[in-house]
Structure 1
Amino acid sequence: MKARPEFVTVITRRNPLIRWSDRLEAALIVGAVLLALLAIPFAAAAGSAAYAAGRERAAEQAANRQETTAVLIADAPPVHVRLDGVPLDEKVEVAARWTGPGGLIREGVVTVDAGTVTGNEVRIWLDARGYPVEAPVTDADALSQGIGVGTGLWLGWLTLVAMVLLACRAALGRGRAAEWAREWEQLAWKEKR
């Protein structure tokens, strides 16, 4: 005969020592586990949809953005140093010049590491009009977004289910404590007689 988990025994076995609240608590635990498991396909579907949307955005941005080289026409502010002497890795905006679409020379502000000096070349991304933009989203970014959305939704659902389960268990515990207190009062009353 196979051994059954204790909570299944509590739910199905006829035993006068098992209270209705014990059966309800065991059923709530089984229900919570089932709800957590049933949420996995929904979270996976949401993560898959987020991944697909990210891949679409990556393809669109790759088609509409181009990488080029900009030359700084001003010095970036100096690197700040922490009190312990370690330099901070910070990005700053500095004036630069680059050649945009159609061979037009443009000037504007680009983001570089602090301490970069005039004349240094930096790689930047341009939109279709020739203005600096962020680097396009990659497939790896889309993958991490999909995994993050799916995992986040499942963990959020799991947290909600766990909170409801804990609240129910606390209420059942208070009910059992009150029931015991009544039984002790009845026993004390019987002994007085």
Structure 2
Amino acid sequence: MSKKPLTLLILTLLPLAGCVTAPPSGIAPVQGFQLQRYQGRWYEIARLDHRFERGLQAVSADYSRNADGSIRVLNRGFDASAARWREAVGKAWFNGPADVASLRVSFFGPFYGGYHVAALDPGYRWAVVVGPDKDYLWLLSRDKQPAPAARPALLAVAARLGVPAEQLIWVRQDRDDN
């Protein structure tokens, strides 16, 4: 490989290795975060569309602590067009103190993306998560069908964050977890 293509490749990948784990401008991650309470299963209630989740329903995320101090992330969803479950296992680390809900997550080796809990129910029943920019948004709930008051609360948070809530895809959660 000549130096020019290699230089272009490095310059292309450099932003991926840099600030993509920081929260988007204007979004402050939750302070006083308690990983022990956040661990376990969360159901994806709504999301902004991205190719890596396109067409998936019954999406869930499970978080648990690894022996090395990192956080194991298991994302799972049913691909109706292929009639099969798809899953991805990743690893997350806090970007700073463990009581600030700002993490970097990797599903692909050395490449990390931001994962920032921007709002969290005091009882840890629902959460609003943004990625490295406002084009990534997930509304999560501990329940497949959250309490009726949760949906307006989640939408209000999304609107306050300046995220395009009108583009949300509401995820079907009417399939067994098998």
TM-score, scaled to structure 2: 0.22
Larger radius of gyration: 1
Task: Give the helix-richer structure, 1 or 2.
Answer: 1
TM-score, scaled to structure 1: 0.21
Task: Give the strand-richer structure, 1 or 2.
Answer: 2
